[in-house]
Amino acid sequence: MREGQAAVIHRADYQPPAFWIDTVELCFDLDPAKTRVLNRMRLRRNPDVPVQPLRLDGEELNLARVLVGGQGTSFKLEGGQLVLENLPEGHEPFELEIFTTCAPAKNTKLMGLYVSNDSFFTQCEAEGFRRITYFLDRPDVMASYTVLLRADRRRYPVLLSNGNLVDQGELEDGRHYAKWVDPHRKPCYLFALVAGQLVCREQRIASRSGQEHLLQVYVRPGDLDKTEHAMNSLIDSVAWDEARFGLPLDLERFMIVATSDFNMGAMENKGLNIFNTKYVLASQSTATDTDYANIESVVGHEYFHNWTGNRVTCRDWFQLSLKEGLTVFRDQEFSQDLAGEASARAVKRIEDVRVLRTAQFPEDAGPMAHPVRPDQYLEINNFYTVTVYEKGAEVVRMMYTLVGRDGFRRGMQLYFQRHDGQAVTCDDFAQAIADANPGSKLAELLPQFKRWYSQAGTPRVQASARWDAAAGTYTLTLGQTCPPTPGQPVKEPVVIPVAYGLLDDQGRELASGLHVLTQASETLSFQGLQAEPVPSLLRGFSAPVVLEFDYGDAQLLALLAHDTDPFNRWEAAQRLALARALRFVAQPHEPVALDAPFVDAMRGILRHPTLDAAFKELVLTLPSETYIAEQLEVVDPPRIHAVREAMRQQLAQALQADWEWAWEAHQVGGAYRPDPVSSGRRALAGLALTHLCLAARASADPVWPGKAYQRFKDASNMTDRFNALSALVVSGHELARPALQRFHAMFKDEALVLDKWFALQAGAPDRGGNVLPAVRQLMQHPDFNIRNPNRARSLIFSYCSANPGAFHRPDAAGYVFWSERVMELDAINPQVAARLARALDRWNKLAEPLRGAAREAIARVAAKPDLSNDVREIVTRALA
Ligand code: ARG
Ligand code: ZN
């Protein structure tokens, strides 16, 4: 280990804190260049831990003064920590005062206290509080907070912190103050403050019990008209948690504040959620249906953390999924419940599974593979991952499946009865759900079930069938394996709930149920059948596994036509398309030619009289390039891109008349509403328009590109406008250029819309290597700013992480661009840099010469001196 390099932290090394902090009084004199922070704490020794010095975490702080019981004291600074050895003996509380300063305007990492658009914001999770003051910066230390904010009144008229406003007033020299008291004890990662010129939409609500609450959404002046949807989502969230889980809002005031400079999506600070503007601001002219849906789910997510995360928090950061997996599960259920009908719920489920399979499965198969509850980390920020979040949510969902809806609610109640106000572990959660459901499969299998928390890698379920026609017996054998992952060469069988059905050739359901697979191999048999059934396995994606079953086309076509489970109906189409894509990829010298049965099946779905438009749109969207790549041992991204594009082109031409019908038939009239039905219709119309523009490319017929341009110009909402623009860009039509110009001119003052403009161009299909030069040119655009994470993501990530066909260039120029940007970003914002670094996670599977070139690019980054822990951890693991 080099000097100054941090060490790997291990879960097994957990020790309770040597001191408890009972109360914290913070006083801030806010100034962008030099903010003064006075931190007065009451501490006491933890009687369960041997006597030792107090070691407080700190980072980039200037220490001015330390007082113990009002007296000066000796201290040391060791590796960033403030170490106090001469503290009062015994277990009586004592007072510690620390006076520091920091420089928020220079804080480009956006962790701790920082400035954005001349306002102050904080981000403390996971370890940002130590950038504000010296503290025991760990989630199991919970304290009561009182916060006094002082700042210039004109420049910072709004002063916010957690809890309740108890006092405010004027000071000399044009300054003013506000005092906030949080009635709830909390870990420091939930601390927040905001100061600036902000305006708010507010709404008073009464809970079921009659309790009154004030809800507020704060934004910059000018954005107020874009806050209605966020406010409605918040009102829905409060009502939902009370109705579904009996969990009420425990605060008089609940605030959401939006900032355009934010590393992640949003943050659940107690009573003062801070959000990326992307998940707050929406108007029909600037936000798409997807944006509206994302706002609803992120507002829900942060609100639900108030119980799952804040009232009961994590003992240590290895337990992150305790709050994140559970809260993602809750926000998914919330969105499903608001979607209403079974078919709309299924659409949401399919979308969630698509995220899991295109982002989490690759993570679980690559160098960053880690268990839902990791065993070690160098930088905790690298573990805010799709594994901890989305796979963690699937683990909670399996518990839900095993104990049932009522059983799960009972389990949640027991969890809060036992642990309200505590910092606990994933084991505590699973134990509560199991204990509330004695006699359930979960209770019976709990130790084995918990392997889902400790084993990394995506399990594979191998299913095979035997049909004994003479006996009328159908036998299903289910096996499970899990590939090795870094540090875990051998895996034990896990508990896999397999929801299934058997269909006859008319599509009638002959049997259905839930089989809980626990062994390496098990057999199920079904008697008295007239003919060989078609198995519908893993319905609703009942477990986060890869299901291997040697389906024939006829079986998949039957499932696509008849399965009562909408998830497997969609999955059948994905399997049909995937099988074809893989065949074409493997035969580079054969033409990509789709067969009539497949094309007819797609037409059948598109024209289906009763299926929802949203569901049709999902079925008619081919598996992503990333998902196709995951099925292969050796990956040639440009080849996969070419195959998928060719398949799409054929669907465009073969179904042209059907796409025309779909476009005409799914126009949405009347006032804009982002509800599932209208959104689904717009999505399908948008998909149709893209295919019509693609078909026009082949025939050089200007009609549909002309219609797309017209729609782009007179659309009354961003969804239709952006879909039309995207159809032109994706089809590479010459009208794309004037449309892009016009779009920029129309929305030059709308940052979130400009993000879409950058992202669309960086994510465009590659034609002769044209995307990278365009991206490099856009880096020079006056609206580009690498310091703003949303903007960096919209241009750089859209190219490196979301456009594999364009990024993996045989001349390695994409990788050169990537390494330059990782190093450039690392000096500004290591968290964002480390995310970008993961674009080459799967380098080891690339076909040569890509593989060698990618390795070289990673090695170049790894060789840079002074890398952050964030990036160093990613590149070291990649090369291991
Ligand atoms: N707890 C937040 C959420 O999921 C995420 C905050 C992560 N921030 C970070 N810097 N790692 O709702
Ligand atoms: Zn969260």
pLDDT cut 70: percent of the chain above it: 99
Whether residue 2 is predicted with pLDDT greater than 90 in this model: the reply is no
Whether residue 52 is predicted with pLDDT greater than 70 in this model: the reply is yes
Which numbered atom of ligand 1 lies nearest the CA of 301?
Answer: 12
Whether residue 146 is predicted with pLDDT greater than 80 in this model: the reply is yes
Q: What is the pLDDT of residue 1?
A: 40
**List 25, 302, 379, 571, catalytic entry:** 302
Of 233 and 506, more confident = 233
Per DSSP, 102 falls in state E
Number of helices and strands in the chain (H, E)? 30, 32
| Mean predicted confidence (pLDDT) in 598-624 | 98
Whether residue 363 is predicted with pLDDT greater than 60 in this model: the reply is yes
pLDDT band at 229 (very low <50, low <70, confident <90, very high): very high
Rg of the chain over Cα atoms, rounded to whole angstroms, equals 28
pLDDT band at 5 (very low <50, low <70, confident <90, very high): low
For residue 330, give the ligand nearest its CA. 2
Q: 3-state SS string over 713-747?
A: HHCCCHHHHHHHHHHHHHCCCCCHHHHHHHHHHHC
Ligand 1 atom 12: residue of nearest CA: 267
Burial (0-12, 13-18, 19+ Cβ within 10 Å), 4: exposed
Q: What is the DSSP string of 166-189?
A: EEEEE-STTEEEEEEE-SS-EEGG
Those residues whose beta carbon sits under 5 angstroms from the ion ligand 2 are: 324, 327
Q: What is the pLDDT of residue 209?
A: 84
Q: What is the pLDDT of residue 686?
A: 98
Whether residue 208 is predicted with pLDDT greater than 90 in this model: the reply is no
Ligand 1 pocket, residues with Cβ under 6 angstroms = 123, 125-126, 263-264, 266-268, 301-302, 324, 381, 384, 831
Digit-coded pLDDT (tens) for 170-188: 999 999 999 999 999 999 9
Question: Mean pLDDT score of the chain, rounded to an integer?
Answer: 98
**Residue 581: its H or E element:** helix 566-586
**CA 393–ligand 2 middle distance (angstroms):** 11
Ligand 1 atom 1: residue of nearest CA: 267
**CA 302–ligand 2 middle distance (angstroms):** 6
| Mean predicted confidence (pLDDT) in 786-809 | 98
Q: What is the pLDDT of residue 3?
A: 45
Q: What is the pLDDT of residue 830?
A: 98
Task: Assess contact for 532 and 467: CB atoms under 8 A.
Answer: yes
Ligand 1 atom 3: residue of nearest CA: 267
**pTM (predicted TM-score):** 0.99
Which numbered atom of ligand 1 lies nearest the CA of 309?
Answer: 1
**CA 327–ligand 2 middle distance (angstroms):** 6
Known active-site residue 302: yes
Question: Residue 503: beta bridge partners?
Answer: 509, 534
- Angstrom distances, CA of residue 594 to CA of 92, 416, 705: 78, 55, 25
Whether residue 127 is predicted with pLDDT greater than 50 in this model: the reply is yes
Digit-coded pLDDT (tens) for 234-278: 999 999 999 999 999 999 999 999 999 999 999 999 999 999 999
Whether residue 294 is predicted with pLDDT greater than 50 in this model: the reply is yes
- Angstrom distances, CA of residue 114 to CA of 121, 320, 788, 872: 6, 24, 13, 24
Ligand 1 atom 10: residue of nearest CA: 125
Task: Assess contact for 547 and 538: CB atoms under 8 A.
Answer: yes
**CA 139–ligand 1 middle distance (angstroms):** 14
